[in-house]
Structure 1
Amino acid sequence: MDPVHRAVAQHVEELLTWDRAVRADVDDSVHQMRVTTRKIRSLLREAPDSFGLADGAWVLDELRELAGVLGVARDAEVLAERYQHELDGLDPELVRGPVRERLVEGARRRYQTGLRRSLIAMRSKRYFRLLDALDAMVAEYPVTTFGPGPEQATPPNIDAAYRRVKKAAKAAKAARPPTRQVPQRTRPREARPQ
């Protein structure tokens, strides 16, 4: 199995592990599932030919949607933690009224709402169709094999990725309109009266 397929297979296994953790509402599981989803999407997007994906493949769209749904709960979870930390650091005399309830508990309620929406999405036919597609992708033997033959592809590597990024940056710089140079002052500023 080539490195890309191996990485995707590993992340699909992690996704299933985090799926169970999210369903059990384990601490930080929503975040980890979202990160894993984004890693899978990134790998598939960078090597679409290895998985027989066309541009705009529905699998990539579904992974983006899943990360978005999980993101609602994750954002609220982060806010609740930050509010709690900041309020705990303040002098109790400075925290007046129902500030803690409004901020921390409000964020926790938004987290619970986001978690419920995530769980609803994770019980849908769309989600199970996505999991089946991911399983099928990693179960298939890779389209390319690596070896010395001229017809065989080379494994993706850091150097190739760096060259692609460098080429894209160069193209973006060339496409950017030139900036107007502002002339420097040729004489010193006069001292202002005080």
Structure 2
Amino acid sequence: MTSTSTDTLAPGAHRAQPSSNAKTSNRSPAAPAPSAGEVVLAALHKQTKALRRAEHRVRDNDPKAVTQMRVTSRQLRSTLRGFSRILDPRATRPLVAELAWLGRQLGEENDTHATIEELRRHYDALPEELIVGPVADDARRELDQLVAQGAHTTQAALDSPRYAALRQALDRLLADPPFTERATRPAAQELPKSVAKALRKLDRRLADGQALPAGPQRDEALHEARKADKQLRHVTEIAAPAVGKPARRLARQAKKLQDLLGDYQDAVVARPLLHQLSAAAAANGRPVSTYYLVDALEQVRTDRVLQKLPHRLSSLHDKGAWLPSAAG
């Protein structure tokens, strides 16, 4: 992929020079510190290989591979967006959009599998006397239909010319990455700036969500915050080998925040499906009280997340105090 930027350079142009008074020895000289571009390009190669491995497994009807392929497509998108200081966003923006499209195609099947697991967890945890009617059988019947629909959407997407074009675009990107002039800088100096930028984006998203009243708008805003936190975690993990322990500590805190926001999003996704299952049960003359109970438990879970959120965010910022301009 050819950059439209006038300051595009090869990532290997910067190399640390040995000191003139360094002692000579029979040992091989230490490898030069990697540039920011080299670190980011290595991550893109790794993620593209993982995407293709997951694709083969999806085509072989491995249901777990759908989740892996979706996660990897999101990681690729996070790398391209999160390192916009290193990769010219004018060149990567179309590819980011196509990866988002792929994630949506995979999401229908993936979300249904996740909801099945969530409902199974609730069902197993409820006392037997609170389970009224053939809830498990009815839910399984309805969800099996959704799984079949999602699988059809996934296979149609992978067989489409649009996905073939996406694969070719990834190949062009790897062959000719659209680096900016910052790509030549040492990774340990440059990559923390991308991490700090991702943290500021997360802060904005969380502020947007927490300022809204309960309802679909807040749910969507907190979902956007979760995606921003995933991006923060991802860019931090890529930077960690060059930066060291501070980055690894920050990545662990980002993972904890991601899990917390994930609880909220799982409940948001599950509740409409519970309403759908309840309506189907009522139409068939089945009891619906168990669905109401599980729906109430999901509401409790979202409230608990909101209570824990300030503490978790504070811990994240404590571990990110080393970042340049982190307070911005």
TM beyond 0.5: yes
Task: Name the CA distance, whole Å, in 2 between partners of 1:133 and 1:55.
Answer: 11
Matched with 1:140 is: 176
CA pair 167-50 structure 1, distance change in 2 beyond 3 A: closer
TM-score after normalising by structure 1: 0.72
TM-score after normalising by structure 2: 0.45
Task: Please say if residues 66 and 110 of structure 2, whose CA atoms lie closer than 8 Å, have aligned partners that are also in contact.
Answer: yes
Percent identity between matched residues is 25
1:77-104 deviation digits (Å, cap 9, x = unpaired):
0111122232234455543433212223
Match of 1:23 among 38, 53, 59: 59
The Cα shift of 1:25 comes to 2.2
Task: Please say if residues 80 and 105 of structure 1, whose CA atoms lie closer than 8 Å, have aligned partners that are also in contact.
Answer: no
Match of 1:164 among 197, 212, 218: 197
SS of equivalent to 1:59? helix
SS of equivalent to 1:97? coil
**Is 1:153 aligned to 2:156, yes or no?**
no
Q: How many residues align?
A: 168
Structure 2 letter corresponding to 1:84: R
Structure 1 letter corresponding to 2:66: V
**Is 1:99 aligned to 2:135, yes or no?**
yes
Structure 1 letter corresponding to 2:146: R
The Cα shift of 1:108 comes to 2.9
* RMSD over equivalenced CA pairs, Å: 3.1
Task: Please say if residues 2 and 145 of structure 1, whose CA atoms lie closer than 8 Å, have aligned partners that are also in contact.
Answer: no
CA pair 105-83 structure 1, distance change in 2 beyond 3 A: farther
CA pair 80-47 structure 1, distance change in 2 beyond 3 A: same
Matched with 1:179 is: none
Task: Name the CA distance, whole Å, in 1 between partners of 2:119 and 2:58.
Answer: 23
CA pair 141-127 structure 1, distance change in 2 beyond 3 A: closer
CA pair 143-24 structure 1, distance change in 2 beyond 3 A: same
CA pair 12-162 structure 1, distance change in 2 beyond 3 A: closer
SS of equivalent to 2:90? coil
Name which one, 1 or 2, has greater alpha-carbon Rg. 1
Task: Name the CA distance, whole Å, in 2 between partners of 1:169 and 1:82.
Answer: 27
| Greater share of helix | 2
Task: Please say if residues 81 and 96 of structure 2, whose CA atoms lie closer than 8 Å, have aligned partners that are also in contact.
Answer: yes
Gaps of 5+ in 2: 1-36, 209-328
Task: Please say if residues 2 and 142 of structure 1, whose CA atoms lie closer than 8 Å, have aligned partners that are also in contact.
Answer: no
Task: Name the CA distance, whole Å, in 2 between partners of 1:90 and 1:143.
Answer: 54
Matched with 2:98 is: 62
